[in-house]
Amino acid sequence: MSENVKALTKHFKDVRQELRKVHWPNRRELTLFTSMVLMAIFFIGVFFWILDSGFAGILRIILQR
């Protein structure tokens, strides 16, 4: 049991050391990256909406014949 506790303790120490190495974004970077992601989601959504509408129109034409 004590080896499990030692292993768990070592794991959390390693996690803490790795988290110190992480470059955390500042407010400006966070705002910029968030807006970029939201714009990408919006444009991809519009793209698939147009694609879906086109396929629906084609299918409607095919099924009316």
Tally of domains within the chain:
1
Q: Tell me how far apart the alpha carbons of residues 56 and 51 are, in angstroms, rounded to a whole number.
A: 9
Spatial contact of 12 and 5, defined as CB atoms under 8 Å apart:
no
**Position 46 in a domain:** yes
Q: What is the per-residue pLDDT for 2?
A: 87
Report the chain's mean pLDDT, rounded to a whole number. 96
Domain hosting residue 36, numbered range: 25-65
51 falls within a domain? yes
pLDDT at 65: 82
- Whether residue 10 lies inside any domain: the answer is no
Is the residue at 5 inside a domain? no
pTM over 0.75: no
